[in-house]
Structure 1
């Protein structure tokens, strides 16, 4: 099934006029959902329910990601009505997506899946508390930022480990973790290129960990100044370092695909890696040759 088809299936349950008119939504997790769908398609226990499981997982993930877009604000009455409405709708949209998840699974009698995904949500919220606590105390390292962020992306999908069998069951946790890490690294590269969300980025925590004392002090004092952050990211060659990390993780992901017993599944998953290969200037044939 194509990414567009999976997105279309989920949109059937996410589409709401009030939401689409008055607020933005996060990016749909196409890559991870496509990964899940492809693997479930090859599992005896889940192949018949792969459409439902992919849709409900996307609804839960979109609910979590939508809530993450809600900004704490003390603007009160000074805040614009349009912005206040957008923030309120993000909260409601996240709750709405979660309610659709429960409804669809309960209708299908998938109570165990409700339990497993609910546990996944709890684990995601636990990781968020750890991340925010470390960030607030300025005790977060760049690798911790990457590790926890990867966990936030992969936790829901790990709920399906016990649905797998054989080699897939053993490889699934690492496959999801490595894929999620690649997704996050690609997003971090995008932040540097587009100067988006720079105050909360791998580059900032890398400089706070490895940078000169003067530069660390500058970041701490002027953490909302995009121009200052951008200059420091360039000074410490953050884009190049992220590219090297992505190249390494993509190679490890490619190696995992070669371990799969099913050549058909490996071929289905290969296109999902192409964005990572493209971002690092690699090509599929070259990587395969290197892995030998």
Structure 2
């Protein structure tokens, strides 16, 4: 099938009353799933598996993202908060298990192994980044690079099946889109000064700020007005917009080099939300 209906297919696994009533789920990984589907649909060998692989990958990613929302400790004693945390753990496990069920029913044992290995890689990369962040050994560039790697790693598990035509193109295009997606998310993240901690902007200020400014970032109860002042001083929003615009241009150049008109058209379509966002009037810090 050429029509992209993976989000609708996934609803049979995600739209359970208990989950919806007691906890929030992360955003469906539509961009990377749509990207995977577009490449697989153009493959002679894997065209018929495009929906199965894309659905399985999206559920695994949703499971990983759901687990990321779980708080590190259960300090919240309220019954409602505790139930939400428990359901996040269970929901993440459930979504992750569905890929095994779907692929095993289809006899896709090799792909199960590929995705299982990718899950291990993603968790290892997350722990590595978390450890470096705790030790304050991360630069803004490190943070962006490693976050993009984490976001794209699961879908890189399909690199072998892309070898038929897109052995080099798939990883490059996937990571290019993932970088745009990360920058897009970072821009929205810093709309509130309370969300700065741990973001790209946090590591940028930590890297370039004065000793006193770094102390403000680590305050037990940060002064949001002062944090907002720091964000303006170091032009965090402007820099993120500029990086997104630069990477969108680079992405368009990569897409334009492909030899499939159909795939090129679909990839430009997938990138449209970024272009619409950049075309909107925006208020940036004075430079």
Same fold (TM > 0.5): yes
| Structure 1 residue 157 corresponds to structure 2 residue 158 | no
Deviation track 1:174-229 (CA, whole Å, cap 9, x = no partner) reads: 11111000000000000122446321210000000112222112112257554432
Determine the C-alpha separation between the residues in 1 that align with 2:148 and 2:135: 21
Change in Cα spacing, 1:226 to 1:67, as seen in structure 2 (3 Å) is farther
Determine the C-alpha separation between the residues in 1 that align with 2:244 and 2:138: 20
Instruction: Please state how far the C-alpha of 1:2 moved relative to its aligned partner.
Output: 5.7
2:179 aligned to 181, 197, 200, which one?
A: 181
Determine the C-alpha separation between the residues in 1 that align with 2:221 and 2:39: 42
Deviation track 1:3-42 (CA, whole Å, cap 9, x = no partner) reads: 6x22111112222221111100001111110011011000
Determine the C-alpha separation between the residues in 2 that align with 1:119 and 1:128: 14
Determine the C-alpha separation between the residues in 2 that align with 1:44 and 1:71: 44
Change in Cα spacing, 1:176 to 1:68, as seen in structure 2 (3 Å) is same
Determine the C-alpha separation between the residues in 2 that align with 1:43 and 1:120: 22
Determine the C-alpha separation between the residues in 2 that align with 1:196 and 1:40: 40
Identify the residue that residue 127 of structure 2 maps to in structure 1: 129
Deviation track 1:132-189 (CA, whole Å, cap 9, x = no partner) reads: 1011011111011111110111001101111114552111111111100000000000
Change in Cα spacing, 1:28 to 1:224, as seen in structure 2 (3 Å) is farther
Identify the residue that residue 139 of structure 2 maps to in structure 1: 141
- Give the root-mean-square deviation of aligned CA atoms: 1.7
Alignment of 1:21-100 (within 5 A): 21-75=21-75, 79-100=77-98
Change in Cα spacing, 1:183 to 1:61, as seen in structure 2 (3 Å) is same
1:244 aligned to 221, 230, 242, which one?
A: 242
Instruction: Please state how far the C-alpha of 1:231 moved relative to its aligned partner.
Output: 2.4
8 Å CA contact retained: 2:216, 2:222: no
8 Å CA contact retained: 1:199, 1:226: no
Change in Cα spacing, 1:220 to 1:133, as seen in structure 2 (3 Å) is same
Identify the residue that residue 288 of structure 1 maps to in structure 2: none
Identify the residue that residue 287 of structure 1 maps to in structure 2: none
Count residues with an aligned counterpart. Answer: 279
Instruction: Point out where structure 1 has 5 or more consecutive residues left out of the alignment.
Output: 283-292
Determine the C-alpha separation between the residues in 2 that align with 1:245 and 1:65: 25
**TM-score, with structure 2 as normaliser:** 0.92
8 Å CA contact retained: 2:187, 2:241: yes
Change in Cα spacing, 1:157 to 1:223, as seen in structure 2 (3 Å) is farther
1:272 aligned to 254, 270, 273, which one?
A: 270
SS of the residue corresponding to residue 200 of structure 1 reads coil
8 Å CA contact retained: 2:43, 2:165: no
Identify the residue that residue 169 of structure 1 maps to in structure 2: 167
Instruction: Please state how far the C-alpha of 1:129 moved relative to its aligned partner.
Output: 0.8
Deviation track 1:38-60 (CA, whole Å, cap 9, x = no partner) reads: 11000122100111111000000
8 Å CA contact retained: 1:199, 1:223: no
Alignment of 1:188-203 (within 5 A): 188-195=186-193, 197-203=195-201
Change in Cα spacing, 1:225 to 1:2, as seen in structure 2 (3 Å) is farther
| Structure 1 residue 14 corresponds to structure 2 residue 43 | no
Which deviates further from its counterpart, 35-44 or 13-22?
13-22
Identify the residue that residue 230 of structure 2 maps to in structure 1: 232
Instruction: Please state how far the C-alpha of 1:279 moved relative to its aligned partner.
Output: 2.7
Determine the C-alpha separation between the residues in 2 that align with 1:32 and 1:86: 27
**TM-score, with structure 1 as normaliser:** 0.91
